[in-house]
Amino acid sequence: MLRVNGLNVFYGNIHALRDISFNVEEGEVVTLIGANGAGKTTTLHSISGLTPSKSGEIQFLQKSLKGVSPNQIVQLGLGQVPEGRRIFANLTVLENLEMGAYIRKDKQQVKADYENVFARFPRLKERLKQIAGTLSGGEQQMLAIGRTLMSRPKLMLMDEPSMGLAPLLVKEIFEIIKEINRGGTTILLVEQNAHMALSIAHRAYVLETGKIVLEGPAKELAQNEQVRKAYLGG
């Protein structure tokens, strides 16, 4: 579904991504783990067209994304749940969800998708008219995921969904990610909580200073001594 090949990204003189290559197959949860500054968010931003690459190839559903604008990338079926949620704080919950569906013309199916979001996140239905900026952190994360689901993504990029959440809510969010995947959405997950990420992913890649240093089935990497020492507290 997604193929990244030889990707290089610079911020000025800083070589942020160094010749990285990986792929995501349809139906998978694939996770990128690594320390702060390893290049995880830059990778997602490059895929979704927000950060230009110096060289390399990104293909989604066998179509090159070179020169494709971020809004066209969403139309192709690639949605992103951004780091820090990035909800529209001054709009209501409903207006945020409407923004997620703004590119869609299939009005009947959009209605059905609202119901799907409300079934998954009953708290959002209770707070439809509430200003999104007044929601709790967990509710804002649910809204960010719900808003992306409204664009009907085939592949969902998720950037640090557990950031700043209490442990109980982290568990809930990861259960939701598993449900979304079981419902047919492929997921590329960037996550600081390596333990949780590896527990739900099919495969994983470890990024260090802009390079992929390890890859393999998530269960195997969770047992890898190097990974355990660096990311799983021994």
Query: Which pLDDT tens digit goes with each residue over 23-75?
Result: 999 999 999 999 888 999 999 999 999 999 999 999 999 999 999 999 999 99
pTM: 0.92
Residue 84 has pLDDT above 80, yes or no: no
pLDDT of 232:
81
pLDDT of 220:
95
Question: For the chain, what percent of residues have pLDDT higher than 70?
Answer: 100
Band of pLDDT at residue 107, cut at 50, 70 and 90: confident
Give the mean pLDDT of 104-128.
88
pLDDT of 210:
95
Say how far apart CA 14 and CA 9 lie, in whole Å. 9
pLDDT of 157:
97
User: What's the DSSP call for residue 135?
Assistant: S
Relative to beta strand 78-81, strand 63-64 is unpaired
Residue range 193-228, pLDDT digits in tens: 899 999 999 999 999 999 999 999 999 999 999 999
pLDDT of 234:
56
pLDDT of 164:
83
Give the mean pLDDT of 85-97.
92
Strand order in the sheet with 78-81: 78-81, 155-159, 186-190, 29-33, 203-208, 211-217
pLDDT of 138:
86
Q: Where are the alpha helices (DSSP H) in 35-136?
A: 40-47, 70-76, 93-100, 107-120, 122-126
**Average pLDDT of every residue of the chain:** 92
pLDDT of 213:
95
Burial of 67 (0-12, 13-18, 19+ CB in 10 A): exposed
